Amino acid sequence: MKFLFDDESFSFETLRAAGFANDGGSDLGEILATARNIGESDEDAWLREWKNTAQRVHAIGSRALEAGHRVSAREALLRASNYYRTAEFYRRDDPANDPEVKLLSTLSRETFAQAATLMDTPVEAVRIPYQDTSLPGYLFLVDDSGTPRPTVIFTSGFDSTLEEVYFVVAAAALRRGYNVLAYDGPGQGAALREQALVFRPDWEAVVTPVVDYALTRPEIAPDRIALMGYSLGGYLTARAAAHEHRLAALVLDDGLYSYHDANTRIMPPFLREWVETGRDDLANPVAGLLMMSSTQARWALRNGVWTFGATSVADYIRRTTDYTLDGVAHLIDCPTLILDAENDQFFHGQPQRVAAALTCPYTLITLPEAEGAGEHCHMGAMSRFQQTTFDWLDTTLSAH
């Protein structure tokens, strides 16, 4: 599905930003006005134009706040947060040391934090104990009554951030009477950018402390906790659920059995062989050529090196080997919803592999391109994704 760009990656990321309009993450006019000034595959223009839009909308929010217009301020600050995130997306030459990455990601977090103080329902910034440090999170509450409610613990993916969770699922959850506990885990958001924590395959080491924290909160019903994973989070949460058995339900958006296979399936066979046999002297230069010709490959491989703590593209691909449900999928024991996107080429066949490996009750739903929901994680069709997910959760948790 092309959206404003022929470049597949630019099209998808613009659709992603625009799709968050449902819950105040963007305005279509702002999307169109920004995109028209960006040339195909021009990453410098992408950063410049989205940053300009973010700064302009941020200023609108600041002026509204100063004037006492609470709702207008909140709405503008939410959009600015999404636009700052979008601006930073392709800046991946040396993101760990790039002042522009630090500036834009900080502004995305700060504008969201400001907006959160202006919301009509309680939002609490939290720190979740993890090993010898803590993970940043938000607890979105239906109200301030203290009533225990069903709660979604949300895990982001390969490139998403804690703040994005509000547009993906939290706002929709609150309307339906669900709390949401969201966090940045290793390799994600502020945990990566501020704490230099990188991805790890044994995600139960992350989710179990999050569940421990959730059970300290009286607002969270301990017998109605649903774990939800988004994009790469579809693997991470499934892996965690194989070892964490205090969950009432699991939602995989979308199902991902082997992250390594998803990567190597789209590689030329000779390149895959060089990576697997450690011929980095051959593999890395060829990968570099592929990156020059494809925005998507360039972004994904550079982002992978950073978020996985790898030393090169070949090293990153090898590190994905352990990201598989081999030998653990059968340990998942809670009802599971596996989502599939009809047009998702990267996750192609992965949801079906997850379903085939499960021994717990599961539901596999493919959302089609004809409904506008066929892109990865159903970008551009947030309402359809949210309806499908929460209708299933309503039924599943009511029977729990």
**What are the catalytic residues?**
231
Can you tell me which residue has the tokens 């506008």? 372
**339: β partners:** 253, 365
Alpha helices in 265-334 (DSSP H): 269-276, 280-293, 295-307, 313-319
Residues 6+ apart with CB under 8 A from 31: 4, 14, 17, 18, 21
Whether the Cβ atoms of residue 187 and residue 198 lie closer than 8 Å to each other: yes
Q: Which of 22, 9, 156, 154 minimizes the C-alpha distance to 86?
A: 9
Rounded-to-integer distance, Cα 53 and Cα 18, Å: 13
Relative orientation angle of helices 8-19 and 28-35, to the nearest 10 degrees: 160
Structure tokens at 184: 């940045």
Does residue 394 contact residue 176 with C-beta atoms inside 8 Å? yes
Token pair, residue 101, equals 């990455």
- How far, in Å, CA of 71 to CA of 77, rounded? 10
CA 28 to chain CA mean position, Å: 22
Residues in the chain: 400
| Sign of the torsion angle spanned by Cα atoms 265, 321, 154, 24 | negative
